[in-house]
C-alpha cells in the first residue's frame, strides 16, 4: 500500500516576485482510498496537483511531499528497504510517474502526429524501465538498444521495452471497453481534435493503463455530459477497485461525487486545507457554499 | 520479426553515415574549374561533341553570374570557392556505368553501400537501384519485368551514349537551363553521374526506384544529374538518398533534377538527405507537368552546413497538380534554407505545399517559397502551410512565402505557424513517464509525422532515426 504524504507545503510561482499560492497544505492519500479536494477558484487545488507531479512553473518554498511504498505496490516486485520512502520534490516528473504518481490534467495537451497506441506503450515501457532503475539502480539501456519493426514505425519498435505491441494492444482494448471508448481512438493522435469529454475519458484511460498507486485527477468532471460523466466515473471506480489506486479528485461540483463516492472530502481555502470530513461534507458544502466554510474557519481562528 | 525487415536491425545509424573509406580513385581531376578541366572530364567520359559544347556554354554562364548574396536570411556562401573543389573523381571500378551485381564492386565500395543498407532495401522494396560513389555510378540494376515493359533506369553518363536523342532534347534545355542560377550553371558545366529514368506510356512502376549518392573524398564536389521522363498515363516513384562523412574542408553538392510529367502521368520524387555538416548543398530541382499530370516532391533535408533547395513545379497543362512536402532540421551552425516554387500556368491547376522545419541549438531554418498564378489560370487553387518548431530562444526560423497572383478566379490559402516547443506539452508527456529528451523526441516525431507517413516504411524509419540523432546532436 502506497501513501502520498503532503506536509506543510508552501509554494509560489517560479518567477521573480512570483505569487505565493500554497500556504501550508497538509494531505495524506493512501492506495485504495478516494479523496475529494474541493474549494473555490484560486484556492490552490490545481497548483497542488501540478506540484505533486513536478510542474516546473512552481517553486516549493517549504514543506515536503513524500511517497511511502510497500511491498505489494508493484505486483511481485520486492522493494528494497532503502527505496521505500521517496521525497518527490527531489525527483523529475517522469521519475515520480515511474514510482506510481499520475496526474489527470484539467486541460490535457494535444500532441499531433503521435498515436495513442504509440504514446501509451512508450510511456508504459519508459515507466517500467525507470522504476527498475530507481528501485534497483539498474540501467539496462544497452539491452534495449535493439531494433526491428514489425509494424508501422509510428507504433514504435516491437522489441523495445517490456510490453510488446501485441500484448499492449490487447491491454489497451480491454481498458477501452471498460471505459466505453471506441477502438478507433487507438489510432488517433493523442488528444488532437478530441472533444472535451473525450480528453477526460482519455485521461482516465491512461491511468488505467499506467496503473498508478496514486492518481490525482484535476477537474476530471468539468465539461462532461451526463453519459460521459458516468463512463468516467465507472473508470475511476475501477482504478480503485481493480488496481487499488488511491484517488485524489479535484472538483468544483458535488455531481461527480454521486458516482464516485469519496471516503474523504477536503476543502481548500487560500492555499491551505481548512476542513476535512467524510462524504457528507460535500453535500453540506453543496447546500451552504464556501462562505459557510470561510465563516467557520474564521470563527475557529 | 519478418525477414524483410532484418536490414533495419542495424541501429547504429551514426556509424552508418560517419565512416570514411580510404580515398582511392581511377581518375581525379585537378582542383578548380577551367575550360581545360571540362574538356578533360568530357573526354574521360567519351562524350559526344554537343554535350561538351553545352558544358562549355554553361561554364561561361557560371563565370559571368554573381554569387547570390543578398537574399534575406540566406546562408553565407563566402566559403564556397569553386577553385578549391575537386570537381570530378572517377572511382576505381572495372566496369564503367555501373555493375549489376554488388559482389562485383571493390570491397570498400560494396561495404559502404552495405552499411547504408542499400542492397537490402533493393531486395525488399525497390524496383531498381542506382548507387553513385564520388562522381560516377558504380552500381545500377532494375528488375527485368520493368525492362521488358520498356522502362529505362540507367546512369546519366550512359544515357548520354545510349539514349542520345531523348537526352539531347531534354537535358538542361526546357526545364533547368544553366542560365537559371549560378549553381545550375556550375552543374551544367561539370555534372557527372546521376540517373536517367524513362517510363513509357501507361506503365506504372509499382515499387519505387532509388538512387543513392555518396561522397567519400575530402574537398570534392558532387554534381549528379537526374532526368526523369514519364510519358502519358505513366507512374513512377523515385527516391534519392544522399550522405557524406565529415571532413575539415568543405564539400559541395550541387545536383540538378529535371522531371517531365506527361499528360495524366504521376511522378513522386522523394529525397532523404543526410549530408555531413561541412557540405554545402545547393541544388536545382524542377518539374514540368502536362495536362492532368501530378508531381509530388517529398524532401527531408537533414545535415549539411547550408542547404538552398526549392523544388519547383511548372503546372503547364490544364488540371495539372503539385504536392510539396518538405521537412528541414537545423542544428548548431546550420542554415537550412528550403522551400517550394509552383507556377500555375494553366487553368484548373492545383498545388498544396506543406513545410515543416525544426531548429535547435542556434540553428536556422528558412522557408522561402513562391506560388505564381498566371493571368488566365482560371479556377486554380493553392494551399500553403508552413510550420516551424524551435527548441530554444537561440534558434531562428523565417517564413517567406511569396505569392504572385495574377488571376482573380482562384482559391488561395496560406497558413503559417512558428512556435517554440511547448513546455506544457513536454510536461504532459513527462508526467506519463517519458524523460525530457524522449518527450521532446516524441513531439518532434509527431510534428513530422505527416511527412513520414507519405514515405515507404523503410524511409520513414530512417528519417525518424535521423531526426532522433540530430536531436541528440550526435551526427557529425
Question: Binning pLDDT at 50, 70 and 90, where does residue B16 land?
Answer: low
Residues of chain B with Cβ-Cβ distance to A153 below 8 Å are: 452, 457, 460-461, 464
A:B CB pairs within 8 Å: 118
Residue A146 has pLDDT above 70, yes or no: no
B228: Cβ contacts below 8 Å, ≥ 6 apart: B195, B196, B197, B198, B199, B236, B238, B257, B258, B259, B260, B267, B269
Residue B53 has pLDDT above 60, yes or no: yes
pLDDT of residue A153: 44
Spatial contact of B62 and B182, defined as CB atoms under 8 Å apart: yes
Burial of B49 (0-12, 13-18, 19+ CB in 10 A): exposed
Tell me the H-state helices in B31-163.
Answer: 35-44, 49-64, 107-115, 118-125, 144-148, 156-162
Residues of chain A with Cβ-Cβ distance to B445 below 8 Å are: 113-114
Residue B122 has pLDDT above 70, yes or no: yes
Would A131 be classed as within a structural domain? no
Is the Cβ of A92 closer than 8 Å to some Cβ of chain B?
Answer: yes
Across the interface, of B2, B450, B457, the residue whose CB is closest to A113 is B450
CB contact under 8 A, B430 and A54: yes
Rounded to an integer, the average pLDDT of A61-73 is 92
Is the Cβ of A74 closer than 8 Å to some Cβ of chain B?
Answer: no
Is the Cβ of A1 closer than 8 Å to some Cβ of chain B?
Answer: no
Residue B205 has pLDDT above 70, yes or no: yes
Question: Would you report the helix, strand and coil content of chain B in percent, each value rounded to 5?
Answer: 30, 35, 35
- Give the separation between CA B313 and CA B311, rounded to whole angstroms: 7
pLDDT of residue B15: 65
**3-state SS record for B172-210:** CCCCCCHHHCHHHHHHHHHCCCCEEEEECCCCECCCCEE
- A195-230 pLDDT, tens digit per residue, is 999 999 999 999 999 999 999 999 999 888 988 999
Residue B142 has pLDDT above 50, yes or no: yes
Residue A113 has pLDDT above 80, yes or no: yes
C-alpha cell at B333: 551552425
CB contact under 8 A, A113 and B447: yes
pLDDT of residue B475: 44
CB contact under 8 A, B461 and A149: yes
Rounded to an integer, the average pLDDT of A20-48 is 96
Residues of chain A with Cβ-Cβ distance to B443 below 8 Å are: 111, 114
Spatial contact of A73 and A2, defined as CB atoms under 8 Å apart: yes
- Give the separation between CA B51 and CA B156, rounded to whole angstroms: 12
Across the interface, of B2, B438, B452, the residue whose CB is closest to A126 is B438
- B257-284 pLDDT, tens digit per residue, is 999 999 999 999 998 888 888 899 999 9
Residue A251 has pLDDT above 70, yes or no: yes
SS3 A128: helix
Tell me the CATH number at A291.
3.40.50.300
Residues of chain A with Cβ-Cβ distance to B464 below 8 Å are: 153
Rounded to an integer, the average pLDDT of B137-149 is 89
Give the number of other Cβ atoms within 10 Å of residue A108's Cβ: 21
CB contact under 8 A, B431 and A147: no
Rounded to an integer, the average pLDDT of A93-98 is 97
Average confidence score pLDDT of chain A: 89
HSE (side-chain half, CA atoms, 13 Å) at A227: 3
Partners of B226 in the β-ladder: B257
- B368-378 pLDDT, tens digit per residue, is 999 999 999 99
pLDDT of residue B14: 60
Residue A147 has pLDDT above 90, yes or no: no
Q: Identify the domain containing residue A7 by its residue range.
A: 3-109+166-300
Residue B1 has pLDDT above 50, yes or no: no
* Phi-psi region at B388: left, alpha or beta (left = phi > 0; alpha = psi -120 to 50): beta
Would A141 be classed as within a structural domain? no
Partners of A27 in the β-ladder: A6
Spatial contact of A248 and A45, defined as CB atoms under 8 Å apart: no
Rounded to an integer, the average pLDDT of B309-325 is 97
Tell me the H-state helices in A44-182.
Answer: 45-53, 93-98, 116-136, 141-144, 165-178
Burial of B349 (0-12, 13-18, 19+ CB in 10 A): buried
pLDDT of residue A145: 40
Nearest to B74 by CA among B246, B307, B408: B307
- First-to-final CA distance of chain B: 31
Is the Cβ of A109 closer than 8 Å to some Cβ of chain B?
Answer: yes
Q: Cα B291–B295–B300 angle (5° rounding)?
A: 170
Partners of B397 in the β-ladder: B365
Task: Express as a percent the part of chain B with pLDDT over 90.
Answer: 58
Rounded to an integer, the average pLDDT of A120-127 is 94
Task: Express as a percent the part of chain A with pLDDT over 90.
Answer: 67
Question: Binning pLDDT at 50, 70 and 90, where does residue A148 land?
Answer: very low
Question: Binning pLDDT at 50, 70 and 90, where does residue B346 land?
Answer: very high
Rounded to an integer, the average pLDDT of B306-330 is 95
Residue A144 has pLDDT above 90, yes or no: no
Residue A190 has pLDDT above 60, yes or no: yes
Q: Domain residues of chain B, as ranges?
A: 3-472
Biggest CA-to-CA distance, chain B: 68
Amino acid at each position: 500500500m502506497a501513501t502520498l504524504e503532503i506536509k506543510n507545503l508552501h509554494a509560489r510561482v517560479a518567477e521573480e516576485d512570483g505569487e505565493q499560492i500554497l500556504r501550508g497544505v497538509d494531505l495524506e492519500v493512501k492506495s485504495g482510498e478516494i479523496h475529494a479536494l474541493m474549494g473555490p477558484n484560486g484556492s490552490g487545488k490545481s497548483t497542488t496537483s501540478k506540484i505533486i507531479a513536478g510542474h516546473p512553473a512552481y517553486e516549493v518554498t517549504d514543506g515536503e511531499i513524500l511517497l511511502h511504498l510497500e511491498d505489494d505496490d508493484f505486483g511481485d516486485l520486492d522493494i528494497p528497504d532503502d527505496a521505500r520512502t521517496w521525497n518527490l520534490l527531489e525527483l523529475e516528473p517522469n521519475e515520480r510517474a515511474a514510482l506510481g504518481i499520475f496526474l489527470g490534467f484539467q486541460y490535457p495537451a494535444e500532441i499531433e502526429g503521435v498515436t495513442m497506441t504509440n504514446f501509451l506503450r512508450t510511456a508504459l515501457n519508459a515507466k517500467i524501465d525507470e522504476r527498475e532503475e530507481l528501485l534497483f539502480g539498474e540501467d539496462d539501456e544497452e539491452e534495449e538498444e535493439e531494433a526491428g519493426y514489425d509494424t508501422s514505425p509510428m507504433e514504435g519498435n516491437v522489441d523495445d521495452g517490456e510490453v510488446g505491441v501485441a500484448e499492449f494492444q490487447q491491454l489497451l482494448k480491454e481498458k477501452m471497453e471498460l471505459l466505453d471508448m471506441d477502438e478507433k481512438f487507438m489510432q488517433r493522435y493523442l488528444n488532437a481534435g478530441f472533444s472535451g469529454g473525450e480528453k477526460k475519458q482519455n485521461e482516465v484511460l491512461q491511468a488505467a493503463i499506467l496503473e498508478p498507486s496514486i492518481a490525482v485527477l484535476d477537474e476530471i468532471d468539468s465539461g462532461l455530459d451526463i453519459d460521459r460523466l458516468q463512463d468516467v466515473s465507472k473508470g475511476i471506480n475501477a482504478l480503485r477497485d481493480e488496481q487499488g489506486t488511491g484517488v485524489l479528485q479535484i472538483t468544483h461540483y458535488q455531481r461527480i461525487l454521486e458516482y464516485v463516492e469519496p471516503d474523504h472530502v477536503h476543502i481548500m481555502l487560500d492555499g491551505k486545507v481548512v476542513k476535512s470530513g467524510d462524504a457528507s461534507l460535500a453535500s453540506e458544502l453543496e447546500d451552504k457554499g464556501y462562505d459557510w466554510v470561510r465563516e467557520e474557519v474564521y470563527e475557529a481562528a | 520479426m519478418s525477414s524483410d525487415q532484418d536490414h533495419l536491425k542495424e541501429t547504429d545509424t551514426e556509424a552508418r553515415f560517419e565512416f570514411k573509406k580510404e580515398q582511392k580513385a581511377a581518375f581525379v581531376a585537378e582542383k578548380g574549374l577551367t575550360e581545360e578541366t571540362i574538356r578533360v572530364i568530357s573526354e574521360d567520359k567519351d562524350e559526344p561533341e554537343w554535350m561538351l559544347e553545352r558544358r562549355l556554354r554553361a561554364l561561361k554562364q557560371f563565370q559571368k553570374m554573381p554569387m547570390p548574396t543578398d537574399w534575406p536570411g540566406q546562408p553565407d556562401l563566402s566559403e564556397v570557392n569553386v577553385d578549391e573543389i575537386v570537381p570530378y573523381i572517377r572511382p576505381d571500378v572495372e566496369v564503367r556505368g555501373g555493375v549489376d551485381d554488388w559482389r562485383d564492386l571493390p570491397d570498400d565500395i560494396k561495404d559502404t553501400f552495405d552499411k547504408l543498407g542499400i542492397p537490402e532495401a533493393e531486395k525488399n522494396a525497390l524496383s531498381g537501384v542506382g548507387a553513385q560513389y564520388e562522381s560516377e555510378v558504380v552500381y545500377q540494376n532494375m528488375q527485368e519485368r520493368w525492362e521488358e515493359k520498356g522502362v529505362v533506369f540507367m546512369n546519366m553518363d550512359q544515357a548520354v551514349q545510349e539514349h542520345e536523342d531523348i537526352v539531347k532534347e531534354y537535358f538542361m534545355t526546357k526545364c533547368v537551363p544553366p542560365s537559371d542560377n549560378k549553381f545550375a550553371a556550375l552543374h551544367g558545366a561539370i555534372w557527372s553521374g546521376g540517373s536517367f529514368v524513362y517510363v513509357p506510356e501507361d506503365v506504372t512502376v509499382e515499387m519505387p526506384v532509388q538512387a543513392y549518392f555518396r561522397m567519400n573524398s575530402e574537398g570534392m564536389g558532387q554534381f549528379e544529374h537526374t532526368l526523369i521522363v514519364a510519358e502519358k498515363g505513366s507512374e513512377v516513384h523515385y527516391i534519392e538518398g544522399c550522405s557524406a562523412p565529415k571532413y575539415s574542408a568543405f564539400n559541395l553538392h550541387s545536383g540538378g533534377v529535371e522531371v517531365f510529367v506527361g499528360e495524366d502521368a504521376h511522378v513522386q520524387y522523394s529525397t532523404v538527405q543526410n549530408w555531413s555538416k561541412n557540405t554545402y548543398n545547393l541544388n536545382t530541382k524542377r518539374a514540368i507537368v502536362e495536362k492532368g499530370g501530378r508531381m509530388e516532391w517529398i524532401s527531408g533535408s537533414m545535415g549539411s552546413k547550408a542547404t538552398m533547395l526549392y523544388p519547383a513545379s511548372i503546372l503547364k497543362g490544364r488540371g495539372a497538380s503539385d504536392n510539396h512536402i518538405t521537412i528541414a532540421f537545423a542544428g548548431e551552425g546550420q542554415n537550412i534554407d528550403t522551400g517550394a516554387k509552383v507556377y500555375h500556368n494553366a487553368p484548373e491547376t492545383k498545388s498544396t505545399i506543406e513545410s515543416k522545419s525544426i531548429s535547435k541549438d542556434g540553428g536556422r531554418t528558412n522557408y522561402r517559397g513562391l506560388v505564381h498564378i498566371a493571368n488566365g489560370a482560371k479556377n486554380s487553387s493553392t494551399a500553403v502551410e508552413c510550420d516551424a518548431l524551435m527548441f530554444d530562444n537561440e534558434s531562428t526560423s523565417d517564413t517567406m512565402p511569396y505569392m504572385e497572383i495574377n488571376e482573380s478566379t482562384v482559391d488561395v490559402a496560406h497558413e503559417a505557424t512558428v512556435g517554440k516547443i511547448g513546455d506544457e506539452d513536454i510536461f504532459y508527456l513527462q508526467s506519463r513517464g517519458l524523460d525530457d529528451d524522449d518527450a521532446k523526441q516524441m513531439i518532434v516525431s509527431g510534428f513530422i509525422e505527416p511527412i513520414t507517413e507519405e514515405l515507404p516504411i523503410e524511409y520513414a524509419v530512417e528519417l525518424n532515426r535521423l531526426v532522433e540523432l540530430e536531436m541528440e546532436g550526435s551526427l557529425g
